[in-house]
Amino acid sequence: HVFPAIAVAEAIESQNNNVSFVGTAQRMEAKTVPESGYEFDAVPSMQMYRPWFRPRNLLLPFAVVAAVFSAWRVLARRKAKCVLGTGGYVAAPVCIAAALRGTPVIIQEQNAVPGLANAVLAASGAARIAIVASEQAKRAMGAVGGMRAVVAMILSIVLRIFGNSTQRAQVVLEANPLRRSFVDAAKGGKKKANKGPVVEASRRVLRARARQSLLGTPYTNNAQVLVVLGGSLGARPVNDVFANPTTGVTAMLEANPQLHVLWQCGRGANYEDVVAAVEPHPRLRIAPFLDNDAMREALLAADVAVCRAGALTVAELTLFGVPSVLVPSPYVADDHQTANARALAETGAAEIVLESDLSTLPDTVIELLNDAARRRAMSESARATGMLADGAAERIAQTVLEAARGD
């Protein structure tokens, strides 16, 4: 959730406005936000455990109240004029505190299935505007039911007690915001149009540079680059498949002398286990994590990517026109990654391999690497969707600024 927020923050700050972030000290925003040059305030962490009736959730109301009071103090000290929530549990208390203070709240939902916090904030009226990235999410925002509807009703009552409007949020469709450096790179450099021979030439140059930087190999027409992305935490089931000595990356590299693999396998035990299990190879680079610059270069370099189907990952794949094999995580709330993956697959830009079918993953990747025409078609389909992100951060920033001014 943090990188879309940073993308919008960059666009807001470019117009000489002050931006600060609120999050929890235990999650990645506590490190990523300061590294990106923004001030950061931490509020107490909270989490809802599924299913709803788990005993641990009995303490949730107390955690919410504590977090709301903490967020209230932060917003007062920062003299916040508008709050943008990009999902996650921490967004709920911050946005509730803002709504209780009468500060405009805008939320941005990246996934095809809205998260609990954003769905409740939109349905209760705590948020004035809900920005969503897909038609499926737009429909879902207008049909919140079950326990989410109950929580939204309770929050709506609380807001009315404090004299605040509880009109359901206006739902606006907009592409997921991506950082300007990513958009510029995907377009072939700054201030380039998104089509034409000059842009294609610029993309080829950037692609060659990315391959040289990441893999230590100059760009050639015959070279193929497979990028495996497991996220900062890694995807152990995917790692296990590619670490298999008979069907994994070692076998793929031996069978294809043109293949190069960049494998981001996750920090900690994930990285240690992969390094211990896989023989070193001159055309294989294993990394625990890719920072912003390395990720941008990886996507520029890739012929095929294998990854989970988080909303930001999907948006970045389409922006760079990377054909992908998506392995949606079955462990996330409401199985939203499967919905994200299906939405991309329906455009013809991706293949899906469910975690229950992971034994088929290597063959699926090999078939795609061996079919240049199919990869070209997938790339074109991906880029047609991805370039919608050009200007998305700026448009969302404009919505935030208008709300802050009371327009």
Mean pLDDT of 1-30: 93
Q: How does residue 52 score in pLDDT terms, banded at 50, 70 and 90?
A: low
In contact, 245 and 251? CB cutoff 8 Å: yes
DSSP collapsed to 3 states, 74-131:
HHHHHCCCCEEECCCCCHHHHHHHHHHHCCCEEEEECCCCCCHHHHHHHHHCCCCEEE
Higher-confidence residue: 233 or 286?
286
Token pair for 26: 């235990």
Q: How confident is the model over 209-225, as pLDDT tens digits?
A: 888 887 775 556 688 99
* Separation of alpha carbons 221 and 253, rounded Å: 17
Mean pLDDT of 329-353: 94
Mean pLDDT of 184-189: 82
Higher-confidence residue: 217 or 17?
17
Whether the ω angle into residue 55 lies within 30 degrees of 0, i.e. cis, is no
In contact, 122 and 41? CB cutoff 8 Å: no
State the amino acid at position 155 in one-letter form.
Answer: L
What predicted TM-score, i.e. pTM, was given to this entire model?
0.87
Q: How confident is the model over 109-120, as pLDDT tens digits?
A: 999 999 989 999
Higher-confidence residue: 93 or 26?
93
Q: How does residue 40 score in pLDDT terms, banded at 50, 70 and 90?
A: very high
Taking the CB of residue 399, how many other CB atoms lie within 10 A of it? 20
Q: How does residue 192 score in pLDDT terms, banded at 50, 70 and 90?
A: very low
Q: What is the pLDDT of residue 227?
A: 97
Q: What is the pLDDT of residue 199?
A: 61
Q: What is the pLDDT of residue 49?
A: 67
* Separation of alpha carbons 373 and 356, rounded Å: 29
Mean pLDDT value across the chain = 90
**Is pLDDT above 50 for 58?**
yes
Token pair for 353: 């391999």
Q: How does residue 193 score in pLDDT terms, banded at 50, 70 and 90?
A: very low
In contact, 133 and 109? CB cutoff 8 Å: yes
Q: Are strands 224-229 and 259-264 parallel, antiparallel or unpaired?
A: parallel
Q: How confident is the model over 68-106, as pLDDT tens digits?
A: 999 999 999 999 999 999 988 889 999 999 999 999 999
Q: How confident is the model over 287-304, as pLDDT tens digits?
A: 999 988 899 999 999 999
Q: How does residue 28 score in pLDDT terms, banded at 50, 70 and 90?
A: confident
- Region of poorest pLDDT, from 174-178, 193-197, 326-330: 193-197
Q: How does residue 122 score in pLDDT terms, banded at 50, 70 and 90?
A: very high
Q: What is the pLDDT of residue 387?
A: 83
Q: How does residue 162 score in pLDDT terms, banded at 50, 70 and 90?
A: confident
Q: What is the pLDDT of residue 292?
A: 85
Burial 31-69 (b: 16+ CB within 10 A, else e): ebbeebebebbbbbebebeeeeeeeeeeebeebbeebbe
Q: How confident is the model over 355-403, as pLDDT tens digits?
A: 999 999 999 999 999 999 999 999 999 999 898 889 999 999 999 999 9
Mean pLDDT of 57-61: 76
Main-chain phi, psi angles of 369, to 5 degrees: -65, -30
Taking the CB of residue 407, how many other CB atoms lie within 10 A of it? 8
Residue (of 189, 175, 182, 258) closest to 219 by Cα position:
258
